[in-house]
Amino acid sequence: MTNSKTTLSKLLAESNFSQECKELLSYLPKDRSFFAEYLYQYQGFWYPPNLLEGVLNSQKHFQARDSDIILVSSPKSGTTWLKALVYASLHRQEHKTPLESHPLLDNNPHSLVPFIEAFNFHTQDTSPRIFSTHMPLASLPESIRESSCKVVYCCRNPKDAFVSLWHFMEKLTLKEMVGCTMEEMVSAFCRGSSVYGPFWDHALEYWEESRENPKNVLFVMYEEMREKPEDWVMRIAEFLGCPFTEREIEDGVLEDIVKLCSLENLSNLEVNQKGKLVNGMETKAFFRKGENGGWRDTLTPLLAEEIDKTTEQKLIGSGFRFFC
Ligand code: A3P
């Protein structure tokens, strides 16, 4: 067994969980799926058991502060990039020359911005604190929902997010562990049974919240950020209460941040080629092509159509559209 396989086997082994989690798992609906042997449905969304335990833990223990910033996404929708951009924008006073010396040069973005469902949310003590999560809106810890935290949600079109997950699982040897075909995986994805799925409901809930509560929830699209990263970093910084000044823009601060956080720059750093996260995952697994519409290389027309049909049905009457 390779190291990454051993780590994932341990993470997914149901016998390691707390008694409370095991009891819950015994009566929750479960579905054979592609990310773990079984996914479990909790509060309307599907989780592998290790992540469900993290969700339960954060719902019980996470204490939000009004100044917290929470970055939310479905898996493979641009989480790593958003973490880097927000971290670099918020810390731009301390790290003025980001291309020469910057924490992002030695740390993967996931090490600087922890997931609240990953048990290590106690480690940050700067203000504002930046956290991330893949949790759906209704399952966020009560302390977040009752606070005036700022939430930035990054959305990606379902075909690219699906394909990104497919390749991610391949890199982590998860597909081999669970043993499923792409047809089975698309079918599970479309019936909602994917990690933190249904993918569409996840995005729609945050999109609706961003319209009802625009001061606290900003909805951004990965594809739009790819097309105009500087515009979006400016909008995000403004939303977070730390707008870029004209002087900073003239001095190239914004441009430097976008360069520092680019896929090309981050993916070539040693920490992102040879590093590992605390849970043992290889950091290189988080970087690939980052293409808008890159799904065309991987999905057959039939499978793409299956996802499109689901998208069409899910969005009826919502007024929401994914990018491309
Ligand atoms: P692809 O697999 O399509 O290339 P997440 O961070 O949510 O896990 O999403 C991973 C996706 O974001 C991958 O997409 C990855 O290549 C892309 N990505 C990672 N870092 C990026 C960056 N700095 N800029 C743009 N895209 C990035």
Q: Token pair of 80, please?
A: 């790593």
pLDDT of amino acid 94: 85
Ligand 1 atom nearest 77 alpha carbon: 7
Strands laid side by side in the 69-73 sheet: 130-133, 69-73, 150-155, 217-221
**Does the active-site annotation cover 134?**
yes
Q: Token pair of 149, please?
A: 């935290």
End-to-end CA distance of the chain: 40
pLDDT of amino acid 33: 76
* Spacing, Cα 267 to ligand 1 middle (Å): 10
Nearest CA to ligand 1 atom 17: 290
* Spacing, Cα 289 to ligand 1 middle (Å): 7
Closest CA to 288 of 311, 263, 257: 263
Rounded to the nearest angstrom, the gap between the alpha carbon of residue 83 and the centroid of all alpha carbons in its chain is 9
Closest CA to 276 of 8, 1, 36: 8
Helices then strands (H, E): number in the chain? 18, 7
pLDDT of amino acid 6: 47
Residue with token string 């670099």: 88
pLDDT of amino acid 1: 36
> Where does 156-226 show beta strands of DSSP type E?
217-221
Rounded to the nearest angstrom, the gap between the alpha carbon of residue 135 and the centroid of all alpha carbons in its chain is 9
3-state secondary structure of 261: coil
Helix axes 301-315, 158-171, angle to 10 degrees: 130
Torsion of CA 108, 156, 203, 56, to 10 degrees: -30
Helix axes 49-61, 3-12, angle to 10 degrees: 60
Residues with CB under 6 A from ligand 1: 73, 75-81, 84, 160, 164, 167, 261-263, 266, 286-290, 294
**Structural domains present in the chain:** 2-315 (3.40.50.300)
DSSP state of 40: E
Q: What is the pLDDT along the chain (324 residues), one digit of tens a residue?
A: 344 454 555 555 556 778 888 899 999 999 987 767 789 999 999 998 889 999 999 999 999 999 999 999 999 999 999 999 999 999 998 887 656 689 999 999 999 999 999 876 666 777 899 999 999 999 999 999 999 999 999 999 999 999 999 999 888 876 665 678 899 999 999 999 999 999 999 999 999 999 999 999 999 999 999 999 999 999 999 999 999 999 999 999 999 999 999 999 999 999 999 999 988 889 999 999 999 999 999 999 999 999 999 999 999 999 999 997
Ligand 1 atom nearest 168 alpha carbon: 2
Beta bridge partners of 130: 69
Q: Token pair of 51, please?
A: 């992540």
Asked if 69 and 128 count as a contact pair (C-beta separation under 8 A), the reply is yes
Q: Token pair of 134, please?
A: 């893949």
